[in-house]
Structure 1
Amino acid sequence: MLSIVKQKSEYTFKANRNLGRHAWLRLTPAYGVKLVEKLITSVAEEAVILDPFSGTATTGLVAAEKGYRAIAFDINPFLIWLGNVKCNNYSQNHLTDLYTGVEKALEEYKCLTQQKHWTPQIFNIERWWSTNTLNFIAGLRAALVHQFGEPTEDSIYNLVWVAFCRLVIETSSAAFNHVSMSFNDTKNNFEIDYIPELFLSIFDFILKTAATRIAGSAQFIEMDARHITTLDNIKINKVITSPPYPNRISYIRELRPYMYWTKFLHEAKEAGELDWLAVGGTWGIATSRLLSWQMQEENLPQEVFSVVDKIKCSDGKNAQLLSIYVLKYFHDMHLHLSSLRSILHNDAELNYIVGNSTFFGNMVDTASLMIASMHILGYSDINLEIIRKRNCNKALYEYCISAKWFGS
């Protein structure tokens, strides 16, 4: 049965690249708009929809576009900022004023390119941008700051900074031809006039898509999904989310250039701290902390410990470390599912898009292990559906776990 499952790129980030606001910035782990639309079908108009792992705001934006009220959590302040910018409504007067301000900034840019300007403390920044290109985008940033100020939490000017984030990626040497980021051997060396031309084309696209009014609303809150606090008596009717997968990919990696240039990151250790807070803990600081990590929750499914023991006893390099990583991943997901119950409405429905992984030949069946946690925590009506094949050479799939919560 599994062999006939297709990859279905329409359910991935690839299908989002031409879909209005969803196409503003790229993040590989983002799932597809069509998948969220499928899961949101037949939800009552008054329902409150939650995404506890917001990412690039796909669930929140789809829900708001469909007229629902959505709430989303993330630990990353940049993603909270981006989600709120994506789901805001902008008047035509606002958009006209923004365009006028950008034109002024581009005029000022011409006078600033020969000066030295602030650049972020990205390690080996010359790998990302050639010297000329770096000077040009730094000059443009200085002009935009002079016209609009730095990115802030509540400002229509944030549309300008989304466009700038897109610019720094499109002028970089970063390559996106596979799941993670790599770099081209030859650096892009753009002409001085190309930078404002490219920025204006990006900004035009963002203004055009921002002009469409959103019928509902979405609120993005900085919160650790393992330790959810109350939402001012708001109860959630529907959860649609895709948490990080147990594949040890750093979710901060692709976001680093955006976050440094917008000053959500200032130094490398801050990125490491965010990766440690991510479910499982994935990179840098997280690796060094895993060996001393202690469980908070002992009541995990026995199946988790069985998988962890198999990985630990394998002959793979760093098998013990990675076995702890897998344990912490399912420990964190158990904490999340436990904490989530406090904000769920009776008869709430959950939909989790998850993927399996392999470690040294040992299959980590994420869906079945999460289902085991759900049973322990009192969730009911639990079902599993295969969504798509993730890799043509390996037995890696995406699944949708659905469940109900009927109260304690």
Structure 2
Amino acid sequence: MAKNKDYTFKYNQNLGRHGWLRLTPAYSVKLVEEILGEDNLFSKKKISSGTVFDPFCGTATTGIVAAEYGLNSMLYEINPFLYWFSTAKSQNYSSVDIDDQLTHIKESLNSDHYKEYCKSWIPPMKNIERWWDSITLEHLGKLHEFLFEELGGPTIRSSVSNLAWISFARLIIESSAADFGHISVSFKETCNSYEETEILSLFIKSLEYISDSAKHSLKGNVKIISGDSRNVCLDEKVNYVITSPPYPNRISYIRELRPYMYWLGFLNSGEEAGELDWAAIGGTWGSATSKLSTWKCDTSWSKPACLTDAVNKIRESDSKNGKTLAQYVLKFFYDIYLHFKNLIKNLENGCELYYILGNSSFYGNMVHTDLIICEIMKSLGYKNPVAKVIRKRNSKKELFEFQIEATWHT
């Protein structure tokens, strides 16, 4: 089984809206396209009607691909930055408005007013010097304040100004010391220093790319809902669920999103980051880890035997961290159980479900995500849940990514 990079975020990088921002845990456009457009387990035909639902929206990959196929979709997202970004990313914009903004911003940044502008704002990010050196930070802070005065901040309303803020978010990563050679962000040994002309050039280049791709309208409608996937409540039933939840591997979305969220005003402190991560399935940032020690599972839940076995082995494997990680795995799958349980009332008879997830290992003890998810679905009445391996995740021979499929019948 190959690693198949086409099934990762790397496939999305040059695909119009899908390439606007880099998020390592994002899943591949190609996976959604294959489910919607090629032979799949159930339909054996191209999906051409019905509503698609993604309860773990992320960067709206599922919704935008569905819209490109002319389908309507509804998406759930608990993270406020991702909710804003996905909403902005999945809207249609006027080409005239896009061109007017691009011209206005170019003229403003080339004006004497910008050259003489003195304000600068630096976000209260811990260890910010790991990301940017002082010179680059000064120029980023100046551009941030200028854009804020010219355009206002990011808004959930349909506004072409959001494209400029997405471009700024892209800029802060391109000018940082972030190293994306691993599944989770790491850092280069030194930060590059960018002069003001270089910062402005990178920003305009990003804005031109995003503006150009935003002119290509989506055929279907994408509705983003701010909500918790453990308690889904939709105003209509759906025909397809296509999603990629967090994996039980302690990769924190908050850690990956931290620079975007601080710079764009969605996060103000480490305490807020911990609270947000605790609210999300699989979160382990900051205080979310300490809260695991007092968290208790509902004793009435009948856990799959393979989950109980994995949790017990992890707990016994390390005297220092074993208990915490065992709690983490147990809570992850209990939250997933709640998701599947409360999802049922939103499903049309015959609804098809497709979940992309990976397994994990703690202290050499395998967490068989595919088997556990299938058992949870069976216990709740989902029909014929099956898991197939779609790619090898890394050099560890036992780590894979799975596509789990099932149907719901009343």
TM range (shorter): over 0.9
**Residue aligning to 1:22:** 18
**Residue aligning to 1:195:** 199
Q: Unpaired runs of 5+ in structure 1?
A: none
TM-score by length of 1: 0.95
Instruction: Give the number of equivalent residue pairs.
Output: 401
1:357-368 alignment to 2 at 5 Å? 357-368=360-371
**Residue aligning to 1:221:** 225
Asked if residue 153 in structure 1 is aligned to residue 156 in structure 2, the reply is yes
Partners of 1:109 and 1:140 within 8 A in 2: no
1:29-178 alignment to 2 at 5 Å? 29-41=25-37, 42=45, 44-108=47-111, 111=114, 115-154=118-157, 155-178=159-182
Partners of 2:337 and 2:376 within 8 A in 1: yes
Single out whichever of 308-317 and 174-183 deviates more from structure 2: 308-317
Q: Distance in 2 between matches of 1:108 and 1:398?
A: 51
- Aligned partner letter, 2:212: K
What's the CA shift string for 1:25-68, capped at 9, x where partnerless? 00111111111100112354331001111111111111111111
Displacement after TM superposition at 1:110 (Å)? 6.4
- Aligned partner letter, 1:257: P
Secondary structure in 2 matching 1:172: coil
- The CA RMSD measured in Å over matched residues stands at 1.5
Instruction: Find the partner of 2:325 among 318, 322, 326.
Output: 322
Q: Assess, with a 3 A threshold, how the Cα gap between structure 1 residues 295 and 113 changes in structure 2: closer, same or farther.
A: farther
TM-score by length of 2: 0.95
Partners of 1:295 and 1:331 within 8 A in 2: yes
**Residue aligning to 2:342:** 339
What's the CA shift string for 1:192-242, capped at 9, x where partnerless? 21111111111110011111111001111111101112x22x111000111
Q: Distance in 2 between matches of 1:77 and 1:353?
A: 23
Q: Distance in 1 between matches of 2:335 and 2:278?
A: 11
Displacement after TM superposition at 1:306 (Å)? 1.8
What's the CA shift string for 1:281-329, capped at 9, x where partnerless? 3221111000100223623323321211111122464111111111001
Q: Distance in 1 between matches of 2:164 and 2:258?
A: 18
Secondary structure in 2 matching 1:187: coil
Partners of 1:109 and 1:143 within 8 A in 2: no
The percentage of aligned residue pairs carrying the same residue is 47
Q: Distance in 2 between matches of 1:321 and 1:214?
A: 45
Q: Distance in 1 between matches of 2:315 and 2:356?
A: 27
Partners of 2:135 and 2:194 within 8 A in 1: yes
Q: Distance in 2 between matches of 1:109 and 1:195?
A: 17
Q: Distance in 1 between matches of 2:129 and 2:388?
A: 45
Q: Assess, with a 3 A threshold, how the Cα gap between structure 1 residues 110 and 14 changes in structure 2: closer, same or farther.
A: farther
Partners of 2:248 and 2:329 within 8 A in 1: yes
Displacement after TM superposition at 1:92 (Å)? 1.3
Q: Unpaired runs of 5+ in structure 2?
A: 38-44
Asked if residue 184 in structure 1 is aligned to residue 180 in structure 2, the reply is no
Instruction: Find the partner of 1:242 among 220, 244, 263.
Output: 244
Single out whichever of 381-390 and 101-110 deviates more from structure 2: 101-110
Q: Distance in 2 between matches of 1:53 and 1:67?
A: 21
Q: Distance in 1 between matches of 2:113 and 2:371?
A: 58
- Aligned partner letter, 2:12: N
